[in-house]
Amino acid sequence: MVHLAPLSEKVAIMTSGGDAAGMNPAVKSAADYARKLGMQPYLVKWGLRGLIEGWIEPATDEFLSDLIHRGGTALGSSRSKRFFEYEFRKQAFENLQSLGIGKLVIIGGDGSFGALNQFYADFKVPFAGIPATIDNDISGTDYCLGVDTALNMIRSSVDSIRDTASSFSRAFVIETMGRDCGYLAMISALATDADVCLVPEIEYDLDSIGARLKEKRAEGKKYLLGIVAEGTGMGEALTRWMGDALGMDSRLTVLGHVQRGGSPTVYDRIMAFKFAVTAIDNLQAGEPNKVVTFKDGAFGMTSINEIADTKHQSDPGLVNLCRGLSR
């Protein structure tokens, strides 16, 4: 059931933490849907810092109409250490009070959710979180906004590297982002038919990998591709090893922040809409301090405490599919 709000009810929407494609479509969808329910949507510029500084303004069609196709976050983001001091949280609360804003939607990662959870404990301002991080490492949800776009950026880069690798019979190692989570590397390795995949979730055996790759070379494989998650710290080491052990000209490509950019894919745009609608609906239903999660094909709400207390675990099925690339 859709709960219509009094016209005076106001909700502020913000992005926080690392940028991810899908944030902009989520901002637009949340503002449009809130307005449809009779709420007045506001936008917070520059994340937690914007709450402290009072950089909060009504959502306008002029601003929202240019968001759906844009990567990153047009609202801006920041990691504000000041927000973890009570006096600055109080200042943020007073800024919201002065505008009559009583609800928040935050699009970001678990650190951002934790910050607003403390904000709720202090001042009882309810919030709904929308997970957005290319690392896909928030517990309780199978998907975070930005992941599909990042994977497509990686796929495009690896396909381009394959062209030059095959032209010169080289070995290339491609390092992906993901902090301590190997999701991007594992999916990318499978999708690009990589020969090696090193991630924090899987123990690797270089002797076994070497024997397997030498056999591939003996059977006529002209080039080799390795995908390495940044959390392993093995990018340079694997590149040197492939050169020494296999006698090949080996190169390392660190994709870096190119993975964060790019116009959101269709999947990220649609998921942004669904995450946003679920967030606004649950705020209206009186369920504060929760994060929208997507699990086994269904959307739900999970308490921030449950997310914080549960260590993220990569999909065992995905891990098993990649074991053969680590030995």
Both 119 and 235 in a single domain? no
Is 66 annotated in the active site?
no
Residue 229: pLDDT over 90: yes
Both 84 and 121 in a single domain? yes
Q: What is the pLDDT of residues 175-189, one digit of tens each?
A: 999 999 999 999 999
pLDDT at 80: 87
Q: What is the pLDDT of residues 127-156, one digit of tens each?
A: 999 999 999 999 999 999 999 999 999 999
Residue 221 backbone dihedrals phi, psi, to 5 degrees: -70, 120
Give percent above pLDDT 90 in the chain: 92
pLDDT at 294: 98
Both 251 and 269 in a single domain? no
Both 228 and 127 in a single domain? no
**Region 215-233: what's the mean pLDDT?**
97
Both 41 and 130 in a single domain? yes
Domain count, the chain: 2
Both 23 and 116 in a single domain? yes
The residue among 233, 260, 287 that closes a domain is: 260
pLDDT band, residue 327 (cuts 50/70/90):
very high
Both 17 and 103 in a single domain? yes
Both 183 and 131 in a single domain? no
Distances from the Cα of 307 to the Cα of 94, 125, 174, 310, angstroms:
28, 19, 31, 5
Both 14 and 132 in a single domain? yes
**Region 194-203: what's the mean pLDDT?**
98
Quick one: DSSP state of residue 145?
B
- We report the CATH number of the domain holding residue 103 as 3.40.50.450
Q: What is the mean pLDDT of the chain?
A: 95
Is 326 within a domain? no
pLDDT band, residue 7 (cuts 50/70/90):
very low
Nearest to 103, CA basis, from 288, 277, 307: 288
Nearest to 275, CA basis, from 306, 298, 307, 241: 298
Is 316 within a domain? no
Quick one: DSSP state of residue 297?
T
pLDDT band, residue 287 (cuts 50/70/90):
confident
Both 219 and 78 in a single domain? no
User: Which structural domain, as residue segments, surrounds residue 55?
Assistant: 10-146+264-310
pTM score: 0.94
From CA 119, how far away is CA 126, in angstroms rounded? 9
Is 322 within a domain? no
Is 5 within a domain? no
Both 94 and 174 in a single domain? no
DSSP sequence for 187-247: HHHHHTT-SEEE-TTS---HHHHHHHHHHHHHTT---EEEEEEGGGT-HHHHHHHHHHHH-
Both 161 and 283 in a single domain? no
Is 37 within a domain? yes
pLDDT at 303: 93
Residue from 19, 32, 61, 135 carrying the catalytic annotation: 135
Residue 3: pLDDT over 60: no
**Region 206-222: what's the mean pLDDT?**
96
